[in-house]
Amino acid sequence: MRISVIGCGYLGAVHAACMAELGHDVVGIDVDAAKVADLAAGRSPFFEPGLDDLLGSRHGRLRFTTDIAAAADARVHFIAVGTPQQAGSDAADLRYVDAAVHSLLPHIGPGHLVVGKSTVPVGTAARLAAIVEQTGAELAWNPEFLREGFAVSDTLTPDRFVYGVRPGDSIATELLDEVYATPLASGIPRIVTDFATAELVKVSANAFLATKISFINAIAEIAEVTGADVTTLADAIGHDTRIGRRFLNAGVGFGGGCLPKDIRAFRARARELGLESLTFLEEVDQINLRRRQRVVDLVDANLGGLTDRRVAVLGLAFKPESDDVRDSPALDVAGRLVAAGALVRATDPEAIETARRVHPELDYRPELDDAIAEADALVVVTEWRQYRELDPVTIAQRTPARLIVDGRNCLDPQRWRDAGFTYVGLGRP
């Protein structure tokens, strides 16, 4: 199958590489010449485990260009551009999706299928379908559920495929089945539905995950004033398979390029529809943001003030195995500590360069030892394996700090206490 992928950011670059891996002939198209040059040279513009290998072993089936006319040779065209939060509003900014679809119009016709993968407000697909259909081509909505850090395996073997198609469509389902023939053959479920349901599946899944995290973080707040332990509680309720243990890790909360903006856009869309149904997502957002200040307050309380105190912040990425700092709780905590007067040295195994681009003023230390050398307190805000596996006895020899605030509840309190540290977790006694 000849495929074009419009937009080679996180989603598009991974999708293009994975479609080539499945044996298709793929062209990735992006307006950013620097990004295209990187990808064409087999280099991923961002850190994603396994992606460089795929870009390097593409067997001549994968190319990248800035020229949208290259899409003309393809039959299936994936739209994988970003839908960021609008400046000054909670709603999604659809200008890149609209521009991508319009740029395709001169190059498509009968027999072509345009497939939206971007996360969009419900109603977008129907609006775009009316435009695409004027060329004789068809449109489908096929949301993506990939997680950063697992993007390659999530794309090649997702939990499910969802196709939003026009009722009684002729080619959409058939073409998508052909595109995903290999993973479908292994029995991955596929749900064929209408546009609105497909669009809503994606935002509902993200809203549910965000709600689950904020639920446990709300319980952490209760645990903090009652002396209970939220991690033991999560283990206990997680044994109920109706609840499940995953996404019940209390800590500094969710961030990244998806969950925060998606819950805001979803709530904004409901409001546009005249519905109060999703006002609770406002609370989900607020609980999440409160946790960031909680980490700062714990450092403050345990050091007896922050002014001119030296704090080593371990982690900048919004989660491990990623160099993404979009809406990162870790980077936000570092900024809040600085604003409160602390002298912060921040470190991360992968995200220093991306963090530097948005917060050039922070003091970054690529080496952990350098970050902790003169610290009064250590704060773990991204649970990288490197930090989870730190040996407290060794660390005690390398830093004068005797306070560790575990913003991800990823460390063993007893081991740190045994090594002479005051250990403080979130929602833990």
Query: Active-site residues: which are they?
Result: 258
Assess 45 for contact with ligand UDX (CB under 6 A).
Answer: no
Assess 406 for contact with ligand UDX (CB under 6 A).
Answer: no
Q: Is 42 exposed, middle or buried (0-12, 13-18, 19+ CB in 10 A)?
A: middle
Tell me: is residue 182 an annotated ligand-binding position: no
CA distance 269 to 278: 9
Tell me: is residue 135 an annotated ligand-binding position: no
Assess 280 for contact with ligand UDX (CB under 6 A).
Answer: no
Give the contacts of 376 (CB within 8 A, at least 6 positions apart).
303, 309, 310, 311, 400, 401, 403
Amino acid of residue 406: D
CA distance 299 to 424: 9
Tell me: is residue 147 an annotated ligand-binding position: yes
Region 294-323 residues binding ligand UDX, contact defined as CB under 6 A: 318-319
Assess 12 for contact with ligand UDX (CB under 6 A).
Answer: no
DSSP string spanning 203-246? HHHHHHHHHHHHHHHHHHHHHHHHT--HHHHHHHHHTSTTT-ST
> Within 10 Å of residue 162's Cβ, how many Cβ atoms?
21
Tell me: is residue 212 an annotated ligand-binding position: no
Tell me: is residue 348 an annotated ligand-binding position: no
Residue the block writes with tokens 């509003």:
89
Which one among 20, 29, 248, 381 touches ligand UDX, defined by CB under 6 A?
A: 248
Tell me: is residue 145 an annotated ligand-binding position: yes
Amino acid of residue 193: T
Binding mask 143-162 for ligand UDX (x = CB under 6 A): -xxxxx--------------
Assess 249 for contact with ligand UDX (CB under 6 A).
Answer: yes
Which one among 258, 281, 295, 390 touches ligand UDX, defined by CB under 6 A?
A: 258
To ligand UDX, the closest distance from the beta carbon of 198 in angstroms equals 14
Nearer to ligand UDX, 129 or 216 (CB): 216
Nearer to ligand UDX, 14 or 27 (CB): 14
To ligand UDX, the closest distance from the beta carbon of 46 in angstroms equals 12
Among candidate residues 289, 282, 288, 254, the one with its CA nearest the CA of residue 267? 282
Which one among 253, 392, 413, 425 touches ligand UDX, defined by CB under 6 A?
A: 253
Nearer to ligand UDX, 323 or 376 (CB): 323
Handedness of CA 348, 354, 356, 362 (dihedral sign): negative
CA distance 319 to 378: 18
Stretch that binds ligand UDX, among 80-88, 89-97, 206-214, 385-393 (CB under 6 A): 206-214
Region 90-129 residues binding ligand UDX, contact defined as CB under 6 A: none
Alpha-carbon distances of 422 from 378, 383, 415, rounded to whole Å: 10, 19, 11
CA distance 99 to 412: 50
Which residues line the annotated binding site for substrate? 145-148, 202, 247-251, 255, 319
What residues are designated binding site for NAD(+)?
30, 35, 83, 119, 148, 261, 326
Residues that bind ligand UDX (CB under 6 A): 144-148, 206, 209, 213, 247-249, 251, 253-256, 258-259, 318-319
